[in-house]
Amino acid sequence: MGIYSTLTSIEGELHKCMKCGNCQAVCPIYKETRHEVGVARGKISLVEALLSGETEMTEGLSERFSLCTTCMACNANCPCGVRFDRIILAARAEAVRQKGLHSAKAIAFGALKRQGLFDLGLKVGSVFQGVALKRIPGRKSGSRLRFEVGMGQTKVFPNLAKRTLRSELPEIVRPAGTAKMRVAFFTGCMINYFYTDMGKAVVEVLIENSLEVVIPNGQGCCGIPASVNGDVESARVMAKRNLREFENMGADALVVACSSGGSAWKHVYAELLSDEPKWRALAEKWAEKSYDIAEFLVDRVPFKEEGLGRVERKVTYHDPCHLNRGQGIYAEPREMLKKIPGLELIEMKEPGRCCGMAGSFSLTHPELSDQILERKIQDIAQTHTDTVATGCPACRLQLASGVENADLQEDVVHIVQILAESYRAGKLEPRV
Amino acid sequence: MLSESILRELREVLGGKNVLSETEDLLTYAYDATAAMRRKTPDVVVAPKSTEEVSQVLNIAQKYGLPVYPRGSGTNLSGGTIPLEGGIVLSLLNMNRILEVDTENLTATVQPGVIIQDLNNEVALHGLLYPPDPGTVTTATMGGSVSESSGGLRGLKYGVTKHYVMGMKLVLADGKVIKWGGKTVKNVTGYDLTALFTGAEGTLGIITEILVKLIPAPETRKSLLGVFDDVDKAGRAISAIIRNRIIPATLEIMDNMTLRTVENFTHAGLPIEAEAVLLIEVDGYKEVVEREAALVEDVLQQEGAVEVKVAKDEQERERIWFARRSALPALAQKKPTTVLEDATVPRSKIPEMLKAIREIAKKYDLLIGTFGHAGDGNLHPTILTDERDKEEMARVEKAVDEIFQVAISLGGTLSGEHGIGIAKAKYLPLEFGEAGVRTLRRIKEALDPEYRLNPGKIVLRKE
């Protein structure tokens, strides 16, 4: 039985913890609250108390389990190799099994399970978003909440796209000439509904590299928002739908430009479906050919350097937790950036420190999320760059909000957008 | 559970968010980093922001007869922060400001919740160093490490925490605030309260401000690794280095059991056939470091090292110290419970101590890995066990008893750097004798007659 099915599955991880407290040195939440319950060791002791029967599952306990961005910094700093991300996910799943899901989340994940309904809702939303959100004067995109609904009013949200990415692009996009391979693109929700510019850049770059791009229309939410909040049943429905849709269309490889989506395909689906052998096998098959876009373009099909034009940007790169520690991808994005002519890469202090977004965490713990973000924005400001690049739309949203609120003149983009920009610039440059 | 009126009083003083009283929070203050300790949940956790607030908490504690357990990061290894009798856990983590770095008098003034590494990062900007570096340097607080007088890897050359404290502000059990010491190198006014309160483990007063000494950071450093096929030879090499008038910043040892485990864990290329390795670092001015490193290399060779490696660059140096830092976690992977002791002997007795530990391991059929700060005689015999195995735990206890007896018979001490806490309180008479323990108790009772502060640690109430 996997971590999503039973709490006892992580007993081995619990035994590894020797309570040394090294996790305190790197936990972004603990740094802000300085409460033991914020750090991995504290929550591990709560799970232990739960398993030993010293306490039972309470609303309060489930609330404490929500205090984790799953940034995995504690995993990396743990001398005993405790996988705390597995412990917290199992604990949250247990909380939902015993106490049910918080009602707001239940409605959201219920809608995400029925993607059509969700699409309709967001379509209506894109027309009426002005009712709840106030556009920021002088800025192309971005709005703040007009009224307090328990998730803070400081966060700057990107405006919903007028047309979703998947409705704008055909299901299959072919390059001129013969395609080297058929690549399926899993867009994820944020790219589909908000950051269509990122999605278009992915397709543009893949086409530029003579790859056929398949964007299955039937794909939906990756399921990570549900699985990290313990709604395992919804997550399983979503995982199966995506696996079915991609299997039907078929492809040599699958790319994602979102760190949650990448984790979902590479790790989470097989774990979620570990009790159903047929589905598990399918998940494992796709896991093997799933790539983050930077990983794909550096390691799998090296992107062509011929035709890259100058991009005069001073760039600093923020490592998304689930790309860096989650998938071990930190060298590839930098390698990609370094090959772009004219671009200067300036590292910030602690590029791997969590930005505080963590999906719904930023909505349920707005104050903490902002405090964590503030440190990140200070580090960015010190680089004196003009662009913050990252590898995940969720981090992009968070960083863009922080940059906006701090009045920094920085573009916040996905690295693949910079690569697309470079190819575009290359076409305008005179041939030598 | 505390009555609502006590909680209300605490909230009035500290603000609601600095008073934790829900079970889900309290459960996370029932332990520290000490293995195989009984957990005990406090009744309330408070996190004051000033000396004044600490004093008011103590007044409330006195009024209602509640014990007060000061706590920093809870990383100590002697049960020092476990709230044995419930009551109030007083977290000092909200008092985390560096108040001053004085580059002319070479001092820093800090609040107790400052993390040691944060102080070091700050003083490094001025080319200075606060030398004490316990293994928990990135997590432990200044208040905690002063209260435990923690040591670390640089003890041999630079001493331990108690050599760097110059003064304090402190709240006594009755809530009164006292302050003493200062930035002068010389100060013999009155009794030496700094010596008394450093290492007092929070049993005599609550430290709310600390004045520490800083030193110029060494210009450079160099690391060496000496491999020995015989523990005695390694021991003689330690003495020979010192006899040659070289004081390395760090002089560490790992025994065969530790070596094998670390190698299995890190694949760093350690000599697993070796009976012992010495890991040495010299630091200072470039010229001095070159000369000392060469001398150490010669001495190791003369003393019969099978192999001597000198780290050629930062990467090689890092590899040596990575192996050392991995000692405890690697050993901890082998069994669920890791009992880490810190019995310490004069450095000349290291070979005897190592041999005794091996015999004890054999006698009680236990896995014991030994590593530690050989240069200052502070070894860490580490017993790998499983606290759920009652029969084995009984043998562990006997082995620990015997380790302490041997250490003391060799002219050593129960604890080099972890403190007495709960874990070693019962062994105190072994080192102090009955009259000695009575003296400690009289000091405790003079300052804290009600046993309000951290009760159950070091000296226990007389039955």
Residues B103 and B121 grouped into a single domain: yes
Residues A78 and A130 grouped into a single domain: no
Residues B121 and B192 grouped into a single domain: yes
> What is the pLDDT confidence band of residue A148, given thresholds at 50, 70 and 90?
low
| Residue of A35, A75, A375 to mutate, interface with B, max B Cβ within 10 Å | A35
- The answer to whether residue B310 sits within a structural domain is yes
Among residues B369, B81, B32, B26, the alpha carbon closest in space to that of A18 is found at: B32
> Which letter does DSSP use for residue A276 in this model?
S
- The answer to whether residue B449 sits within a structural domain is no
- The answer to whether residue A1 sits within a structural domain is no
Query: Which residue of chain A comes nearest to B74, CA vs CA?
Result: A21
Residues B156 and B183 grouped into a single domain: yes
> Which letter does DSSP use for residue A298 in this model?
I
- Report the amino acid identity of residue A135: R
Residues A35 and A54 grouped into a single domain: yes
Contact in structure between B323 and B245 (CB atoms under 8 Å): no
3-state secondary structure A94-156: HHHHHHCCCHHHHHHHHHHHCHHHHHHHHHHHHHHHHHHEEECCCCCCCEEECCCCCCCCCCE
Query: Which residue of chain B comes nearest to A27, CA vs CA?
Result: B139
Residues A329 and A420 grouped into a single domain: yes
The last residue of a domain, from among B201, B216, B231: B216
Q: What percent of chain B has pLDDT over 90?
A: 89
d(CA B396, CA A77): 30
Q: Please give the helix or strand (H or E) that residue B443 lies within, else none.
A: helix B428-447
- Pairwise CB contact (< 8 Å): B27 & A46: yes
Contacts of residue B6, Cβ cutoff 8 Å, sequence gap at least 6: B44, B60, B64, B66
B336 touches chain A (CB under 8 A): yes
- Give mean pLDDT, residues B270-293: 95
Indicate the number of domains in chain A.
Answer: 4
- The answer to whether residue A339 sits within a structural domain is yes
Query: Which residue of chain B comes nearest to A57, CA vs CA?
Result: B24
**Which range (A29-38, A152-161, B71-80, B211-220) has the least confidence?**
A152-161
Task: Read off the tokens for B371.
Answer: 């590593």
Query: Which residue of chain A comes nearest to B337, CA vs CA?
Result: A18
CA–CA min distance A34, chain B (Å): 6
Q: What percent of chain B has pLDDT over 70?
A: 100
DSSP β-bridge partners for residue B299: none
B413 touches chain A (CB under 8 A): no
- Pairwise CB contact (< 8 Å): A37 & B24: yes
CATH of the domain at A395: 3.40.50.1860
Query: Which residue of chain B comes nearest to A82, CA vs CA?
Result: B333
d(CA A113, CA B23): 36
The answer to whether residue A278 scores a pLDDT higher than 90 is yes
Domain of residue B74 covers: 4-91
Residues A169 and A294 grouped into a single domain: yes
The last residue of a domain, from among A300, A331, A357: A300
Domain of residue A417 covers: 314-428
Strands A143-145 and A156-157: antiparallel
What is the tens place of the pLDDT at every residue in A165-224? 999 999 999 999 999 999 999 999 999 999 999 999 999 999 999 999 999 999 999 999
CATH of the domain at B390: 3.30.70.2740
CA–CA min distance A97, chain B (Å): 19
Residues B320 and B344 grouped into a single domain: no
B74 touches chain A (CB under 8 A): yes
- The answer to whether residue A2 sits within a structural domain is no
B117 touches chain A (CB under 8 A): yes
What is the tens place of the pLDDT at every residue in A79-91? 888 999 999 999 9
- The answer to whether residue B55 sits within a structural domain is yes
**Which range (A149-153, B358-362, B371-375) has the least confidence?**
A149-153
Residues A369 and A252 grouped into a single domain: no
Q: What is the mean pLDDT of chain B?
A: 95
- Give mean pLDDT, residues A323-347: 98
Q: In what order do the strands lie in the sheet with B220-228?
A: B307-310, B220-228, B276-284, B250-255, B367-373, B378-385, B337-340
The answer to whether residue A339 scores a pLDDT higher than 70 is yes
B93 touches chain A (CB under 8 A): yes
- Pairwise CB contact (< 8 Å): B28 & A42: yes
- The answer to whether residue B442 sits within a structural domain is no
The answer to whether residue A294 scores a pLDDT higher than 80 is yes
Task: Read off the tokens for A129.
Answer: 């978003």
Residues A16 and A58 grouped into a single domain: yes
What is the tens place of the pLDDT at every residue in A228-260? 999 999 999 999 999 999 999 999 999 999 999
Residues B148 and B191 grouped into a single domain: yes
- The answer to whether residue B133 sits within a structural domain is yes
Strands B206-213 and B220-228: unpaired
Query: Which residue of chain B comes nearest to A45, CA vs CA?
Result: B28
pLDDT for residue B398: 96
CB < 8 Å to A368, chain B: none
The answer to whether residue B191 scores a pLDDT higher than 90 is yes
d(CA B93, CA B211): 17
Residues B231 and B303 grouped into a single domain: yes
What is the tens place of the pLDDT at every residue in B108-143? 999 999 999 999 999 999 999 999 999 899 999 999
d(CA B458, CA B200): 8
CATH of the domain at B49: 3.30.43.10
B428 touches chain A (CB under 8 A): no
CB < 8 Å to A371, chain B: none
What is the tens place of the pLDDT at every residue in A7-28? 999 999 999 899 999 999 999 9
CATH of the domain at B296: 3.30.70.3450
Residues A240 and A257 grouped into a single domain: yes
The last residue of a domain, from among B216, B248, B283: B216
CB < 8 Å to B115, chain A: 25
Contact in structure between A398 and A154 (CB atoms under 8 Å): no
Contact in structure between A77 and A22 (CB atoms under 8 Å): yes
The region that residue A307 occupies, defined by phi over 0 for left and psi between -120 and 50 for alpha, beta otherwise, is left
d(CA B376, CA B350): 9
CA–CA min distance A260, chain B (Å): 30
B315 touches chain A (CB under 8 A): no
Contact in structure between A339 and A323 (CB atoms under 8 Å): no
Residues B319 and B347 grouped into a single domain: no
DSSP β-bridge partners for residue A135: A143
pLDDT for residue A140: 56
- The answer to whether residue A72 sits within a structural domain is yes
Residues B102 and B159 grouped into a single domain: yes
Quote the ipTM score. 0.94
- The answer to whether residue A353 sits within a structural domain is yes
Closest Cβ–Cβ partner in B22, B32, B33 for A60: B22
Contacts of residue B354, Cβ cutoff 8 Å, sequence gap at least 6: B231, B235, B253, B255, B276, B370, B379
pLDDT for residue A392: 97
- The answer to whether residue B420 sits within a structural domain is no
pLDDT for residue A106: 75
CA–CA min distance B25, chain A (Å): 6
Q: What percent of chain A has pLDDT over 70?
A: 93
| Residue of A33, A36, A83 to mutate, interface with B, max B Cβ within 10 Å | A36
- The answer to whether residue B375 sits within a structural domain is yes
Residues A71 and A115 grouped into a single domain: no
Specify the higher pLDDT residue, B1 or B397: B397
Residues A194 and A128 grouped into a single domain: no
CA–CA min distance B21, chain A (Å): 12
The last residue of a domain, from among B216, B249, B283: B216
B328 touches chain A (CB under 8 A): yes
pLDDT for residue B273: 93
Among residues A428, A314, A427, the alpha carbon closest in space to that of A380 is found at: A314
Residues B228 and B200 grouped into a single domain: no
- Pairwise CB contact (< 8 Å): B27 & A54: yes
B341 touches chain A (CB under 8 A): no
* Residue A244 vs residues A63, A220, A237, A239, B160: alpha-carbon distances, Å: 34, 11, 11, 9, 63
DSSP β-bridge partners for residue A412: A388
- The answer to whether residue A306 sits within a structural domain is no
Among residues B70, B19, B79, B32, the alpha carbon closest in space to that of B207 is found at: B70
The answer to whether residue A153 scores a pLDDT higher than 90 is no
- The answer to whether residue B84 sits within a structural domain is yes
Residues A184 and A140 grouped into a single domain: no
What is the tens place of the pLDDT at every residue in A315-330? 999 999 999 999 999 9
User: What is the DSSP track for B364-414?
Assistant: TT-EEEEEEEGGGTEEEEEEEE-TT-HHHHHHHHHHHHHHHHHHHHTT-BS
pLDDT for residue A432: 59
pLDDT for residue B285: 97
Residues B128 and B209 grouped into a single domain: yes
Instruction: Please report the number of interchain residue pairs, chain A to chain B, with beta-carbon separation below 8 angstroms.
Output: 81
- Pairwise CB contact (< 8 Å): A60 & B328: no
Indicate the number of domains in chain B.
Answer: 4
CA–CA min distance B199, chain A (Å): 20
The last residue of a domain, from among A157, A181, A202: A157
Residues B18 and B52 grouped into a single domain: yes
CATH of the domain at B208: 3.30.465.10
pLDDT for residue B248: 97
Residues A92 and A113 grouped into a single domain: no
The answer to whether residue A124 scores a pLDDT higher than 80 is no
| Residue of B22, B28, B418 to mutate, interface with A, max A Cβ within 10 Å | B28
B35 touches chain A (CB under 8 A): yes
Residues A319 and A409 grouped into a single domain: yes
Residues B210 and B121 grouped into a single domain: yes
| Residue of B23, B26, B27 to mutate, interface with A, max A Cβ within 10 Å | B27
The answer to whether residue B319 scores a pLDDT higher than 90 is no
- The answer to whether residue A204 sits within a structural domain is yes
CB < 8 Å to A25, chain B: 115, 117, 138-139
